[in-house]
Structure 1
Amino acid sequence: MKYLLAIFAFALISGCGFRPVYSTGANANYAGGAITVPPIAGRSGYMLRRALQEELAIGLPNVTEPSTLRVELSESLTRLTFKPDGQASRSSVVASARYTLSRESDTVSGSATSEATFAVPDSPYGDISAQKGASDRAMRLLAKRLVDDLRLQLVED
């Protein structure tokens, strides 16, 4: 009976258009139809790629042919202020990206930078969580700035 129920559940899931989050199929690089964003290394790269796919879902001006957006990401953590005992109290995550949009007709390249600051909690595990949260915010902001820069460059063409 359990097996019959499992088969029925899988049939329902496949019928509704469900696709796994980490799909490696044909739609794995989907971003706005014509724009492919290859994987970017690391956790922050994954977050940046997802944010870029969301930003590019509506497309870019003057981009109708299949294109590839390649991104080189660098990220750094800086301790900004310290308590009297030497422990950090405020930190900053700075993310920068160099990108190249390759199309059949031409190539557009540039760079973008973002920064997210956070208060350092007293707990070491809290610090790790705060760093991840700041990194995620920095990646979303970086994706917005990168796509805005691309839109400005492509409108001028």
Structure 2
Amino acid sequence: MKRFIAPVLLALMLPACGLQPLYSGGSKGAVASTLGSIAVEPIQGKSGWLMRNALSDRLGAPQADAAQFRLVVALDDQIEGFGVRADDTVTRERRTLRARYQLISRATGETVLDATAGADAGIDVVSSEYATIASENTALENLTQRVADQIVTRLSLYAGGE
């Protein structure tokens, strides 16, 4: 009998915890509507181009007059060598991508969200310079995807009322 009472009590307490789906209401919900009204400002450099595309893919591109917010992103892309051999050649690199982003209301000009996101990746340095450069580029592409996911998740939490 006790085996049945505990799950029933837990099921009854679940609505009291205050959890609710973030994307409730589907495409007409508050979160989807807010995300769809964010215009991503241009970001400088190759990493900026990749980041803007990744964010635009996730947020959608609002009509110019329908954007209620603008997202300003500043990137810091670093490659640091470590793992040095006896002959002072680098054997491993770490690529770090950090983003500081601000969500600004177009109506008031007020910054409603100011946060950071980041990720890093390890890169093997091999004898082929072409292979190393290709690995660095692939790492950058993957990092922009991961950081864009972090940014959109944080924007979703803001839109959902945290």
Task: Please indicate, yes or no, whether the TM-score normalized by the shorter chain is above 0.5.
Answer: yes
Once residues 136 and 151 of structure 1 are traced to their aligned partners in structure 2, the CA distance between those partners, rounded to angstroms, is: 23
What is the CA distance between 1:69 and its match in structure 2? Answer: 0.6
Q: Give the TM-score of the pair, scaled to structure 1.
A: 0.68
Q: Which residue of 1 aligns with 2:126?
A: 121
Q: CA RMSD in A?
A: 2.3
* Structure 1 residues 1-157: aligned runs within 5 Å: 33-57=36-60, 66-103=68-105, 104=107, 107-156=112-161
Once residues 158 and 36 of structure 2 are traced to their aligned partners in structure 1, the CA distance between those partners, rounded to angstroms, is: 20
Once residues 156 and 38 of structure 1 are traced to their aligned partners in structure 2, the CA distance between those partners, rounded to angstroms, is: 24
Q: Kindly provide the amino acid, as one letter, of the partner of residue 148 in structure 1.
A: T
Structure number with larger C-alpha Rg: 2
Q: Kindly provide the amino acid, as one letter, of the partner of residue 142 in structure 2.
A: R
Once residues 148 and 58 of structure 1 are traced to their aligned partners in structure 2, the CA distance between those partners, rounded to angstroms, is: 17
Structure 1 unaligned spans of 5+: 1-31
Partner SS state of residue 140, structure 2: helix
1:82–1:45: structure 2 CA closer, same or farther, 3 Å change rule? same
How many residue pairs match? The answer is 122
Once residues 79 and 135 of structure 1 are traced to their aligned partners in structure 2, the CA distance between those partners, rounded to angstroms, is: 15
Partner SS state of residue 142, structure 1: helix
What is the CA distance between 1:65 and its match in structure 2? Answer: 5.5
Q: Give the TM-score of the pair, scaled to structure 2.
A: 0.66
Partner SS state of residue 60, structure 2: helix
Q: Kindly provide the amino acid, as one letter, of the partner of residue 54 in structure 2.
A: A
Q: In the TM superposition, what whole-angstrom CA distance separates every residue of 1:123-145 from its partner, at most 9, and x where no partner exists?
A: 12222221111111111111111
What is the CA distance between 1:45 and its match in structure 2? Answer: 0.5
What is the percentage of aligned positions where both structures have the same residue? 26
Q: In the TM superposition, what whole-angstrom CA distance separates every residue of 1:8-40 from its partner, at most 9, and x where no partner exists?
A: xxxxxxxxxxxxxxxxxxxxxxxx652211210
Structure 2 unaligned spans of 5+: 1-34
What is the CA distance between 1:50 and its match in structure 2? Answer: 0.6
